[in-house]
Structure 1
Amino acid sequence: MERFLSTEEAADLIGLVREIADGELAPRVDDFEARAQFPRELFRLLGRAGLLGLPFDVEHGGGGQPYEVYLQVLEELAGRWLAVAEGVSVHSLACYPTAVFGTETQRKRHLPDMLGGELLGAYCLSEPQSGSDAASLTTRAEPDGDGYSVHGTKAWITHAGKADFYNVFCRTGGPGTTGISCLLLDAGTPGLLPQAPERTMGLRSSTVAQIVLDGAHVPADRLLGEAGGGFKIAMSALDGGRLGIAACAVGLAQAALDYAVGYAKDREQFGRPILEFQGVGFMLADMATQISAARALYLSAARLRDAGRPHSAEAAKAKLFCTDTAMRVTTDAVQVLGGAGYVTDHPVERYMREAKVLQIFEGTNQIQRLVIARSL
């Protein structure tokens, strides 16, 4: 697709991303997905290319790019390998608490390595009994000398066991939203124990697991923001995370459409390409239209964010619509291929499996509807 980018720098960036995605991601995705192997070295490559810190300030090692550009980078990556694009989005989510709520000392100390590409982050909010109801989390940080001792279990943590740092949301006060704080833990912290990876339907090369915190000691200077301010951090971070997932969903849907169109041009039945049959052509037309609408929606929300305007409801709308679109489009792509779409010889079966989780994480689409309804 043709992108309309406001600066030559942004156009060059998209060109670099496409070169890396085509040359380094696309040739490896099938093998890594089949073996459920996490592509750690590819994240180092992306980091060295400056792609792990794009939406953050240049003074701390970031790329200084508007969200509108950063999200289009995610879309390009997702079109070749969704797990990698989702990993970049999660890493940005993990950098956000330090970048926005950290002290100047914390930012100078931690952000250059976080944004420089050698370190990979994880974001620990959900728990086995606390998913959509994040305010009910029970992981607790008790005062312990010059810091905190953390006990509890975090669930569904992307990059668990692979990350170099973890943002852990835990209870330092009483019940409810005002008792939650955010702590920054290094991967080597004693008592931080990644568990066995989950066996997932899709995104098999993206490691997801529980994190058990068994008396993990965290120095007091690793508190991000104010004590009791963690819920505010979590919710504001999710606005950006939801836009990241929306962009990933559009990239996945575009890949599915492109493959289905190519197949429909080549596959002949009754003496002509199946694309010429109205039943197939109209299906592809609807897929293309839905993708264009989804892309316009996430870019509109990104422009609000870049302008410093309220965008929580728009981020929820984008996440809702883009991920529902990805599910519809990937399902229809399998249908266009018929029996061929149901086997691993073609990537559309993987696209369909991957699309499902996009409707679930960063807040289920039912939660997005709650956010949108409340904004009305």
Structure 2
Amino acid sequence: MNTLFINDSHLSLDKFATLCAQTLRKDDFPLARSADKNVLIYHREDLLAAAATDRQSLLCELHQALSAGPGVFVVQDLYSDVSVIDRSNSVFEDILVSEAANGGGGDHFAKAGSNGRIWNALQKVAERDADVFIEYYSNPLLALICEAWVGPGYEMTAQVNQVRPGGKAQQPHRDYHLGFQLNEVVARFPLPLQILSQYLTLQGAVAHSDMPPESGPTQLLPWSQQYAEGYLAWRDPRFIEFFQQHAIQLPLKKGDGLFFNPALFHAAGNNTTQDHVRTANLLQVSSAFGKTMERVNHVKVMEAIYPCLLNKALSGEQLQALVAASGEGYSFPTNLDTDPPLNGLVPKTQQQLLLEALQQRCSAEEFIRQLANHENKRKA
């Protein structure tokens, strides 16, 4: 059987269940203070002390926890002084009020408007309160955790998620990169690339409020990141049902950090409280390797070739090859406030824009206008 390019027929719930039935051996992770429901619990003081004496061993243990281990860990008191959390929350509230007045934004994996969401909170906080930004992101332990998974030269992004009283749970999912793609797109990537995807991003959440169980802290399925076919599986009703039966939740205190492999099946939980707003600053930290060697201005390339392309008779395969070499074929990075997903979970790409313009026989002037508008929407 083909094991490089897979489809839904390759999915095995039994294999998935076997992986998820593993039991954590706390002795394999000596820096952890404890384990709860197969989730490792670390403490800020222990990790900083370990970093001062044997930094490499610390990085190795945290990496192993996210790969060969359960795929998730908690760091208690990631921010021991929660005053910076409170100051950040004030900035978040100002942004949420401002954006709500302008129509607000959508949310991935949840009904638009059911949660509060701030896209690109990293930049927005820096622009509104530089002191808060500096104090928040100068946390050396946060930097150590990022480096443990994606190495040096990483790039940080942040999105605030609020789940309000009565807010409904997200659907279980995997995360960026391939977790944002439709199954027909995922299936075009050979399985080794699907596995590689999880090593390109670290997913984290800093608790900006206490998160008791009734507030719906993140539902997690330890070990699920080890299922290689999982980027095709998370929409399958059988896997969704399994997740709902076996996912666990842990309460967090304000200032705690939760970090997990982006391939871990997870979802925000139901907030069944009457008055508790659960707020998290979601961190997605990207590997330095997700970049090209040269900076290419694809807008100029497409502007240059489009008039000539209108008069060319290319086969479908020739056109696809040309478009792949000419424009960007990936939806990210973008500005999700102004360039929201239209179908599925991803916004339109340059390549899609070019193909649509050709199909509609747009004039060169009209295509250039559409392309400029597309670029402007993607700017932060």
TM bucket (normalised to shorter chain) is under 0.3
The structure with more radius of gyration: 2
With normalisation by structure 1, the TM-score equals 0.27
Query: Per residue, is there more helix in 1 or in 2?
Result: 1
Higher relative contact order (CA 8 A, sep 6+): 2
